[in-house]
Structure formats: structure tokens, C-alpha cells
Amino acid sequence: MSGSKYAYVKSYETPDNLLPGTFIVVRLDGHAFHNLSQKHSFIRPNDERALQLMDNAARDVMDEFKDVVLAFGESDEYSFLFRKTTAVYKRRHAKILTTITSLFTSSYVFHWHRYFPETPLQYPPTFDGRIVLYPSAQEVRDYFAWRQVDAHINNLYNTTFWALVQQGGESTTQAHHTLKTKHEILFSRFNINYNSLPERFRKGSVLVKEDTPVEGEVPEKAQSLDTRDLNNSKTSSQVVLHHCDIIKDDFWDARPFLLSK
């Protein structure tokens, strides 16, 4: 019983190598995370445990893929940046995309109990992913700025929304309505100084693979749960977590290696 007479079907697998010389960005999004957050009683408007679980999964991806030099996370999404010269998996589209999606998902489920020790996972959560190519450094910067602005807008909205519900006594339906009509008034009503909210919520998570810490910056203290970045035996570089601005020049100027060859 030789398979040779059927092997022709393999010729239907078309090559899908990504254009060389471009930056590869992989973005993952949680699937139906509104439901997941309700079923597992996530804290509103931001659940730090859930965000840390995301950050941890992102670290696992960065530890596995040496050419991923930067990652940015907010809410239930995470973006990963490959060096533009990467030859990982011969730049095969599906191979890169599915391996990262699978590893992130696997890590998320595997480590769930560490971040939610009292809340057993009730069903398998999932993520979808996509790859976008950017030809130049400027476009990469604008991509990450786009995501961080999005984090800001979403967080501002959610913070206001849940203030209306939790402190203002509105129903969620009312709160949606209030936000549409009186966004700014309500924002001030609860005396919440938005800028004093934790950077994590306002800026999202920025994971950087760096050889040596950048002068004058103090990365977030490593979680007791996760000291890998301090004792990484695989490579000499460290994956460091920040919650900082990546829209202005400072972040990028201090790390020219991110966008270099």
C-alpha cells in the first residue's frame, strides 16, 4: 500500500513565503473575550491578573522566537515585531502565524492557574491572529503608535463606563447612553484623575528584548511569579516589561537596534 498514487495532492500546497526585507508584525486577538471575562469574573475595568497572564504568554513567544524583538499588549490583544532580516521558518506565512498563535494560546491555558488560583478555567479560550508586513521603520513605529493610541482610547472609555456603573449606580445600558452624550462631564463627575491611573492600563504592556538595560529607565520590578527575565540562560539578552509611551521618539531613539538590520 504505497501512498505514491495519492501524493500528488501535496502539490496543492502553494508556497507562502513572506516578502524578504520587510518587518513582520503578528497580531493576536482574544476570541469572544467579553464572554470569557464575564464567566471568570474579571475585575472591571481592568483585571491586572488577566493582563499579566497575557504578558507572560507574550514572554513565552519572545523566549521561543529570538527574532521577535518587541511586543505590545493591551486588553485581549498582543502584537509581535520580528526583525526585518529574520529568516525564521524561511519566512513561511502559515508556519510563523500558526506556531505563534498556538504557543500563545497554549501558554495562556497552561499558566492560567498561576494568575487565577481561585478561579478554575471553565473552557478552552482561543485567539485568532494575522500577519501584516511593513516595509520601513517609520511604518512600524506608526503601527505601534496606532495600537497604543487605541489602548488609551479604550481604557479611557472603559474607566469612565465602569465608574458610571460601579460608583454612579447606572445600569450598563444607561452607562453606554451616558457616555455617548456626556462623555466629558461624566468623566469629571467621579473625580477620577485619569492620568493617575496605573501606566499599565493607560499605556499597555511593552516587552522589549534588550541586551543591557537602557540608561535612566526603570523597568517594572519582575513579578515574583516570573523571574525568567532576570535569569534567562538561553540568551544573553533579556525580555523586559515596560508600560511606557512608544509613540514619541524617546523610546525608539534609545533602542536603535529595534528597527535596524
Binding of residue 98 to a second copy (CB under 8 A): yes
For residue 17, give the DSSP letter: B
Q: Rounded to the nearest whole angstrom, what is the least distance from the CB of residue 248 to a second copy in the complex?
A: 11
Residue 107 as a binder of a second copy (CB under 8 A): the answer is yes
- By CB under 8 A, tell whether 248 contacts a second copy: no
Site for a second copy in 3-22 (CB under 8 A): 3, 5-15, 17, 19-22
Q: Which of 72, 78, 115, 127 binds a second copy (CB under 8 A)?
A: 127
Contact 94, 59 (CB under 8 A): no
Q: Which amino acid is at 92?
A: R
Query: Should residue 195 be labelled a site residue for a second copy when binding is judged by CB under 8 A?
Result: no
The single residue among 2, 195, 196, 233 that binds a second copy, judged by CB under 8 A, is 2
Name which of 239, 194, 28 is nearest 127 in CA terms: 28
Subset of residues 132 to 171 that bind a second copy, contact rule: CB under 8 A:
132-136, 139, 142-143, 145-146, 149-150, 152-153
Q: How many C-beta neighbours within 10 Å does residue 170 have?
A: 18
Using alpha carbons, select from 102, 98, 81, 134 the residue that is nearest to residue 16: 98
Nearer to a second copy, 134 or 162 (CB): 134
Q: Is 5 helix (H, G, I), strand (E, B) or coil?
A: coil
For residue 203, which of 187, 220, 216 has the smallest C-alpha distance? 220
Which is nearer to a second copy, 8 or 117 (by Cβ)? 8
Shortest gap between Cβ of 235 and a second copy (angstroms)? 18
Burial of 50 (0-12, 13-18, 19+ CB in 10 A): buried
CA atoms of 23 and 25, how far apart (whole Å)? 6
Beta strands in the chain (DSSP E): 23-30, 68-74, 77-82, 127-134, 205-210, 238-242
Q: How many residues belong to the site for a second copy (CB under 8 A)?
A: 62
What's the rounded Cα separation, in Å, for the pair 116 and 12?
44
Q: Does 113 bind a second copy (CB under 8 A)?
A: no
105 binds a second copy (CB under 8 A): yes
Contact call for residue 87 and a second copy (CB under 8 A): no
Please tell me whether residue 84 binds a second copy under the rule CB under 8 A: yes
Applying CB under 8 A, which residues contact a second copy?
Answer: 1-3, 5-15, 17, 19-22, 28, 31, 60, 84, 94-95, 97-99, 101-103, 105-111, 121, 123-136, 139, 142-143, 145-146, 149-150, 152-153
